[in-house]
Every structure is written in structure tokens, then in C-alpha cells.
A = this chain, B = another copy of it.
Amino acid sequence: MVESVHQVNAAVMDAAGTLLHRWGDIEKPVYLRSAIKPIQALPFVESGAADACNATDREISLACASHTGEDIHVDAVTAWLDRLGLGIEDLECGAHWPSYRPAERALAARGEQPTAAHNNCSGKHTGFLATARHLGEPLQGYIHLDHPVQQRIVRVLEDFTGLDLSRAPIGIDGCSIPTLGVPLDRAALAIARFADPSALGAERAAACHRIQQAIACEPMMIAGSDRLCTALNGSARGAVIAKVGAEGVYLAALPKLGLGISMKTVDGTTRGCEAALGAVLETLGVMTDEMHTAMDGFTRPVLKNWNGFEVGQIEAHLDAAQPEG
């Protein structure tokens, strides 16, 4: 018996704007949330801020991360801030307990409270601070839409989506920065251009490749333990660069094929888009044995209860009846 059903809208596009596949509504604006972080990190690299602070792959991956708040993430953010001459108090993302529950329990067992460094977006915010500092901009208020840090990101998003975003829907993300509503077809185009930036000029292409490499080489930093983003970016060996966002959003760049995938679970659940992403990657022929081993627990999981009994599974079904673009 099928107990619950998720509908996932998705688009697959190349960097020239050819729509290869579509499932469901891909014209309605979707808040891209954290799924767009690899593109949000571009100004950090392109401005020279990454070079100025000798950013490592770990730090660039962390600048694209929704991390689990484990010690490796918090230590890396803290050390990076320290190198910038900044502190946790400069982060404007708010504090929350680590999402990885063993990390939360370890923190509690040490009698500590979470700080803004534990916020899943603390790496991105450190990248924002590094960019503002490098460019001599005010640090305070870097989360607001009218700050140069956010304005640069809007312009990059306009470049990649080809849209005038001045009248796009604007929400506030969990970490307090603006998140813009972009239709899935344009989101797929944006992440396809990130995958294949050959038409974007040498400097931008180099920045895209540097971010791709950082995520592929440091998959633990972009998410953490027990997370599909880490399993996928680690096992795909650069063939897929993928990032989840809140409310069931996923964006994936396929550099070798020059393709971008965008998807959103209509009901906002992550398990829906995780299963769908596995199915779409399978359809596109990019799944390897190594990827299956790493990813199947997320993309086609067998569900077990508290006694370890198998009680069900999650399966994705691509609706073949949908028109392909």
C-alpha cells in the first residue's frame, strides 16, 4: 500500500537554454533557498576575497554549505573567522543547535550552548564577511537586501538566470538573508551555466570550476554526516555538484554533460526531492556503482523502525506522460 505521495516538479536544461526534460510546473517561482549557495559563493571567489584570505577548498565548500553543525564545521568556521580578524559575534545568521543529533547531544554533554558558528549557514556568512571586508564595505547589516554583498548576489543571479529579478518574489531565509523566487526552468538554466561556464568568460568560468572542485574535494564540509549532499558530492567525483535547500529544493550541476537539474517538492519535504533526484540522475545515465552505494540510503531507502524491522521503502516514479521540452 502506498502510504504517502510527494509531487516533485523538475527541469533539466543545458547551458544554451535547451530544456531536455521537465516534470510538472516549472514556470512558477520557487524560493531557491540554500540550493543556490554554490552560485551565491561566486562573488567571494570573483572579487578576489577568496585569494586574499588564502581560502582553502574546505573553506570554499563551507561557503556553499548547509552544514550539520559538527565539530569539523564549527572549528573550520571559527578558525577562518579568526584569520579574518573577525569573530562569531560578527555572524548575523542567528544560533541554533546542530541538525546532526549526535553533534547536538555531544554539545549538550559538554554543557555548552550553540552559537552562530553552529548555524548551518555559518560558512556562507563567513564568506559574505570575507567579501565585504576585502572590498572595504561595512560588515554590519551584510544580510540585508540593500547591502552590497546581497546586491552583488542578485546581479550574479540575474546573469545566470537571464531574468530581471527586480520584481521577483523576495522571502527571508532561515539565516536571515533574502531568498528570491525563480522559476525552475530558469533555475535549471542557472545551474547548467554553473556546470558549463564556457560562455561566461574566463574569469567567471575559473571561479565556477574552483567552486565545483572545492565541493567535490570536500564533501563533508558542504553538509556533514548522514546527508545526501555529502554522499552525492563525494561519490560522484566531480560529475555531479548538488546542493539541497529548505522546503524540498535541489539544484544539481553536471559539469561533464553540461547540464543543470532543478527540482522542488510541492509540499516542501526533503525526502521527496531526494528520491526524485536519484531517479533523474539515473535517467541521465550518470549514476555509478559508487554513487549507488553512497546514495541509495537517501534516494531509495528501505525504512526501518526502532527495532530495525523493515517497514517500507521510498520509491520515485518519473511520470513518462509529462511532455518533454
Mark A residues whose CB is within 8 Å of B: 1, 3-7, 29-31, 92-97, 101, 104-109, 111, 119, 169, 171-176, 181, 247-248, 265-269, 272, 305-309, 311-312
- Are B268 and A3 touching (Cβ within 8 A)? yes
A171 touches which of B6, B95, B96, B311 (Cβ 8 Å): B311
Provide the main secondary structure of the chain A interface. Answer: loop
- Could you say how many copies of this chain the assembly holds? 2
Beyond A1-B169, A94-B308, 19 extra complex contacts between A and B, CB < 8 Å:
A1-B171, A3-B30, A4-B248, A7-B267, A92-B307, A93-B306, A93-B307, A94-B305, A94-B306, A97-B105, A104-B108, A105-B105, A109-B109, A171-B312, A172-B305, A172-B309, A173-B311, A176-B309, A269-B269
Q: What is the bound-complex CA distance between A129 and B192, given in angstroms?
A: 59
- Are B171 and A266 touching (Cβ within 8 A)? no
Q: How far does the Cβ of A152 sit from chain B's closest Cβ, in whole Å?
A: 22
- Are B108 and A106 touching (Cβ within 8 A)? yes
A93 to chain B: which residues have CB within 8 Å? 306-307
Q: What is the bound-complex CA distance between A45 and B176, given in angstroms?
A: 51
4 smallest beta-carbon distances between A and B, as pairs: A94-B306, A4-B268, A105-B108, A94-B307
